[in-house]
Amino acid sequence: MTTRPPLTTTAGSAVPDNQNSLTAGPRGGIMLQDYQLLEKLAHQNRERIPERVVHAKGWGAHGTLTITGDISRYTKASCLQPGAVTPMLARFSTVAGEQGAADHERDVRGFALKFYTKEGNWDLVGNNTPVFFIRDPYKFPDFIHTQKRHPKTNMRSATAMWDYWSLSPEALHQVTILMSDRGLPVTPMNMNGYGSHTYSFWNDAGERHWVKFHFKTQQGHKHYTNEEGEAVIGRTREGYQEALYGAIEDKAFPRWTVQVQIMPELDAEKTGYNPFDLTKVWPHGDYPPIEIGVMELNRNPDNYFAEIESAAFSPSNIVPGIGFSPDKVLQARIFSYADAHRYRLGTHYEQLPVNQPKCPVHHYNRDGNMNHFGLRSGNPDAYYEPNTVLGSPAEVPSAKEPPLRIDGAMARFNHRDGNDDYGQVTALFNLFDADQKARLFSNIAAAMNGVPSDIIERQMVHFVRVHADYEAGVRTALKAAHGYEANTISEGEAAE
């Protein structure tokens, strides 16, 4: 057996654990001293120029968020109070494809929203799926490498993709959704959107509740098969752009029903799953979705580059009444998204018109490229803080988020220990009817074309742990599509 060289940092130091972030207890939060996590995320943001590292191909429009429900007892956020109407921008995208990729490819779709509230910009940067492939941000650069081009062949690698997934059982929930009908929506209007992460609400009394955001399409779910998607690509590579732009020009404004799931703060200590785990959903029977309003897109951009390509969304943009959670991936995105924008667009990217808040802005940031506005402190003598200069910006104690409960020793906890990565996937699989399952099996078989048998067999172990029919169905589809044959997995092997 060939000896593998030691994994090191870019400075040559040995990396003892490349699977788990350094956190306070198994549920987080993440420690700023985890320099290798910051190095991996910061390096990934600088791997490609000038397009986005992920979500490079996108389509967007302007609209409004209108609140019709009442959740004022949970949050003080002004944009979520009954009757509030907030201007906004939406950008949909594929995750893996480059700017020139075709729209109708099987992929997760980004669902990024910027709300221009009177208290500052609130960004909700999610996907059209309620979960994702990872639960620890340490693995995000590695996962995205499997979705991009092979450094030698310059082609997408199904082997890399399935090799990674077969070694990462936490990805199975998202893989199953991606390979199901919902992995290829007909248009951006025919898919749901999700905040995906767990966020928090807090009210004037300082009470915290955990929250998940859902945007349910009012246009209905419509999906293409792989063959139908390929036929569309044969006619146009811009099908999503054409559909979204054309609908708004025809005044057939797309709409989504906005819902939230709300969990009392202390319930997080009682659930049988980690509610901050990005690979898990909250059962609707336990935390029923609450309808709070409508999102409508009703204005196309006048200049795509200035208003959509230059749009910069970051989960770090929140407003009083909305907060974060110990979700490890969310905490990493709070850093990495803003850092990506500073690199891609410039130090003062939030001064581009599409990113500018609609409320007054006062801060002490100075100089740097793109600083065409000078100091924002309101007084040329107030270029530092604290100060005694009259008219200079001061802290706003009422905007302080309530303390976030954390506990535990600081260590690299194995995020796969004690996690059930199959139960929720089984529940999802059992929701599919026979035809939906058949398409799921066929889509997986198509995506496994050319993948070595040892990787396929390793992935089969995960399928059979979900349901024996899952493994059997994929095997049948693989044989039909590629003539693949191998021994089925015994119950003993599946249990190992």
The DSSP-derived string for 352-390 is STTT--SS--------STT--S---SSSTT--SSS---T
Exposure string of 21-50, with b = 16+ CB inside 10 Å and e = fewer, is bbbbebbbbbeeebebbbebbeebbeeeee
Is 55 designated active site? yes
Task: Record the tokens describing residue 239, joined without a space.
Answer: 């099908």
Is 355 designated active site? no
Q: Report how far apart, in Å, the C-alpha atoms of 31 and of each of 135, 137, 328, 329, 409 are.
A: 16, 12, 10, 13, 11
Catalytic-labelled residue, pool 55, 173, 341, 348 = 55
CA distance 81 to 293: 10
Task: Record the tokens describing residue 240, joined without a space.
Answer: 């999503």
Task: Please enumerate in sequence order all residues whose Cβ is within 8 A of that of 136, keeping only pairs 6 or more positions apart, or say none.
Answer: 19, 20, 21, 328, 329, 415
CA distance 188 to 20: 34
CA distance 259 to 460: 36
Task: Please enumerate in sequence order all residues whose Cβ is within 8 A of that of 386, keeping only pairs 6 or more positions apart, or say none.
Answer: none
- The full length of the chain comes to 496
Catalytic-labelled residue, pool 127, 190, 274, 443 = 127
Residue with tokens 């590579």: 237
Q: Report how far apart, in Å, the C-alpha atoms of 223 and of each of 178, 204, 228, 283, 425 are.
A: 12, 43, 9, 25, 21
CA distance 279 to 328: 11
Task: Please enumerate in sequence order all residues whose Cβ is within 8 A of that of 295, keeping only pairs 6 or more positions apart, or say none.
Answer: 63, 64, 65, 66, 88, 90, 113, 215, 255, 256, 258
CA distance 385 to 403: 24
CA distance 384 to 365: 9
Phi, psi for residue 378 in degrees, rounded to 5: 85, -5
Task: Record the tokens describing residue 219, joined without a space.
Answer: 């246009």
Do 236 and 242 meet the contact criterion of CB atoms below 8 Å apart? yes
Among 16, 1, 40, 64, residue whose Cα is nearest residue 256: 64
List, by residue number, the catalytic residues.
55, 127
